[in-house]
Amino acid sequence: MQPNLLASIHTSTLTSFPTPHNRWRLSVAPMMDWTDRHCRYFHRLLTKNTLLYTEMINAGAIVHGDVPRHLRFNTEEHPVALQLGGSEPDKLAQAAKIAEAWGYDEVNINCGCPSERVQKGAFGACLMAEPDLVADCIKAMLDAVKDPVKTPITVKHRIGINKTEDTPEGYAFVRDFIGTVADAGCQTFIVHARNAWLKGLSPKENRDIPPLRYEIVHQLKADFPHLNIAINGGLTTNVQIAEQLSVLDGVMVGREAYHNPWLLASWDKTFFASSVRPELVEGSASEITRESIESQMVSYMEREQALHGTPWATIARHMLGLRHGLAGSRRWRQVWSNHRLKNMHPRDVMALAHDDMREAD
């Protein structure tokens, strides 16, 4: 990555939540069983500006179920986006209206998940084959929310779908999908730069086997310069992020953010200044420490236990990558993931984890 390229990547200076044209600059992907409110609280300690997404939540569960259980979040999580699964415009509209009332900063429709369970519910990646239906969903949701600028409706999808290994979709497929959905009022698309195989691959295999084709997403931005186009898939370093931001409006990082969360600690100073800072792209720009983050998480565990009876282990599982790559990290993780210690106070668990870590050095 050349310094002159990095210097050309600009964003507005942030004084509060990112403005609509740059709020998708960096985000952490919605990940089932991972990006719950405890995970998002942890990530927010590491980065103040990055957009955080919920796990995918079925719109019907919000409309007909326990709303607080599905939508409760910590005020510290802002900016935070709700991802919905569904294909019925009326239910998605109701869910979007409820989400806006709860204070979410965005509502996103999942058109990218390839799992068979999701397909049976007639949503996820299979919706890419029905752009008119997705457009109807977008229209209904935009009509339902009071302020679509403050609470935008967005779509996350793949670059195409394969119904079988031998029937890949070409570029025109995703181009026409975006064109149809954009005509309904959607202005922001987060594009996973892989095809989704609807049969023959597991969700995990669908994240690894279909080849990454970043050039497709770049072409989409060239063809739709007035839209916000963010990219997702296979991005694990700040150098890669900076390269994509030289072409696109945003980058969404998934599993690397979860397994190596300290990466997030460099993002505010590296990517959310008046321009990208080339000298920081390959290093850490953080003034916080792993120890301070861990201590704040213990305070959060204490609070959650007092308010909601949440076991500390339910929260601690999300921070097991905090010391990724450091000496003694394995021993530290073993203590925090040891459920035989569940009756101990989390501060005592933290002390034990640090004792074991020092012994391993």
Model pLDDT for residues 104-121, shown as the tens digit of each residue? 999 999 998 876 655 555
Catalytic residues: 113
Q: What pLDDT, on the 0 to 100 scale, is given for residue 275?
A: 59
* More confident: 49 or 122: 49
SS (H, E, C) the chain: CCHHHHHCCECCCCCCCCCCCCCCCEEECCCCCCCCHHHHHHHHHHCCCCEEEEEEEEHHHHHHCCHHHHHCCCHHHCCEEEEEECCCHHHHHHHHHHHHHHCCCEEEEEECCCCHHHHHCCCHHHHHHCHHHHHHHHHHHHHHCCCCCCCCEEEEEEEEEECCCCCCCCHHHHHHHHHHHHHCCCCEEEEEEEEEECCCCCHHHHCCCCCCCHHHHHHHHHHCCCCEEEEECCCCCHHHHHHHHCCCCEEEECHHHHHCHHHHHHHHHHHCCCECCHHHCCCCCCCCCHHHHHHHHHHHHHHHHHHHCCCHHHHHHHHCCCCCCCCCHHHHHHHHCCHHHCCCCHHHHHHHHHHHHHHHC
Q: What pLDDT, on the 0 to 100 scale, is given for residue 42?
A: 98
Q: What pLDDT, on the 0 to 100 scale, is given for residue 274?
A: 58
* More confident: 321 or 10: 321
Q: What is the pLDDT of residues 241-263, one digit of tens each?
A: 999 999 999 999 999 999 999 99
Q: What pLDDT, on the 0 to 100 scale, is given for residue 164?
A: 55
* Predicted confidence (pLDDT) at residue 1 exceeds the cutoff of 60: no
Categorize the per-residue pLDDT at 284 as very low, low, confident or very high, splitting at 50, 70 and 90. Answer: low
Q: What is the pLDDT of residues 191-216, one digit of tens each?
A: 999 988 776 677 777 777 788 999 99
Q: What pLDDT, on the 0 to 100 scale, is given for residue 122?
A: 67
Q: What pLDDT, on the 0 to 100 scale, is given for residue 2?
A: 42
Categorize the per-residue pLDDT at 87 as very low, low, confident or very high, splitting at 50, 70 and 90. Answer: very high
What's the pTM value of the predicted model, to 2 decimals?
0.90
Q: What pLDDT, on the 0 to 100 scale, is given for residue 168?
A: 55
Statement: 3-280 belongs to CATH 3.30.200.20: no
Mean pLDDT across the chain, nearest whole number? 89
